[in-house]
Amino acid sequence: MTYNKQHLQHYFPFYLAALLTLTPWVSSPTALVMGFALASFGFVPTTFALGKVTKKLLAYSIIGLGFGIQLNEAIEATSNGIGIILSTIVGTLVLGWLLARLMKLDKVTGHLIASGTAICGGSAIAAVAPAINADEESTGLALATVFVLNSIALFIFPVIGHALELSQHAFGTWAAIAIHDTSSVVGAASAYGEEALKTATTLKLARALWIVPVAFISALLFRSNSKKITIPYFILFYCLAILINDNLPQFQMVYNGIFDISKKLLVLCLFFIGCGISIDKIKSAGAKPLIFGVLLWVVISTTSLLYIMNYIQ
């Protein structure tokens, strides 16, 4: 009992901040900064399994967002974006391979970062790593690099979008293409607007489906004997939620409630992700992997933005 009281007293700021993220007063970028600040001052419980909780909570939140998306909107967004999805995935992987050779970066680390940039950040890295027998160091470097860029994107993308006067649909498309992790995509898109959030979520999850073929191809390219591939099953449940919403419209009030709760849970996810940031983790990425990741990110961001401004905006 004494331990519990001491625990609550010391980590009270953590629990208070977590509750605040569920209110309308805390945005996604603010939640991320709050998490990082608390982690820096040692207010995040070490016994709290942040990684596992965040992963599950994010999956549940994405499924919940499916109840706020109409089937015809999902089909339209996916069909309109399939060309840019395929071209950016293939282009990023090829450019990553060439750039890694040019920079003399470890090919495994380079491929992991390129896969994370091409598809969906940490999820893609987690799926591809066992397929190519990547060691913990390479996987950690790739994750740290993508994590840093995700944190930056969460803040600067909405600013750029407003500066360029991008429409909700255009920004949602850009966020889905150019931001790595699903959590940061939905965080940036939700800060921009509800229509942007719907477009970004649909396109990002359509993009995430390519984890499976990319992991298989990666295993063949690296001649790995591993068959362990992480499949994001929550995508299937997300699609199921859209189908339920479309076929049972009489429960629309319930769906709206689930959708609103899911958006707030996403903010909580960003807070937990911020709590997982450490200066040591950022430093461990080193200069070369970070430069490699930045170059890839700049190319995919600028080329996709130019395409969107000319053909989608």
Residues 2-41 have pLDDT tens digits of 457 776 667 888 999 999 999 988 877 788 788 888 888 8
Asked whether the beta carbons of 28 and 265 are under 8 A apart, the reply is no
In this prediction, residue 45 carries a pLDDT of: 87
* Nearest Cα to Cα of residue 151 among 257, 236, 29: 29
Query: HSE (CB half, 13 Å, CA atoms) of 10?
Result: 13
Q: How many residues does the chain have?
A: 313
> How many domains, in total, are found in the chain?
1
Asked whether the beta carbons of 226 and 136 are under 8 A apart, the reply is no
Q: What is the mean pLDDT of residues 87-104?
A: 93
Q: What is the mean pLDDT of residues 208-221?
A: 80
Q: What is the percent of the chain where pLDDT is above 70?
A: 89
Q: In which domain, by residue range, is 227 found?
A: 1-311
Whether the pLDDT of residue 292 is over 90: the answer is yes
Asked whether the beta carbons of 262 and 64 are under 8 A apart, the reply is yes
pTM of the complete model: 0.73
* Ordered alpha helix ranges (H), 104-167: 107-118, 122-131, 136-163
Cβ neighbours around 83 below 10 Å, total: 11
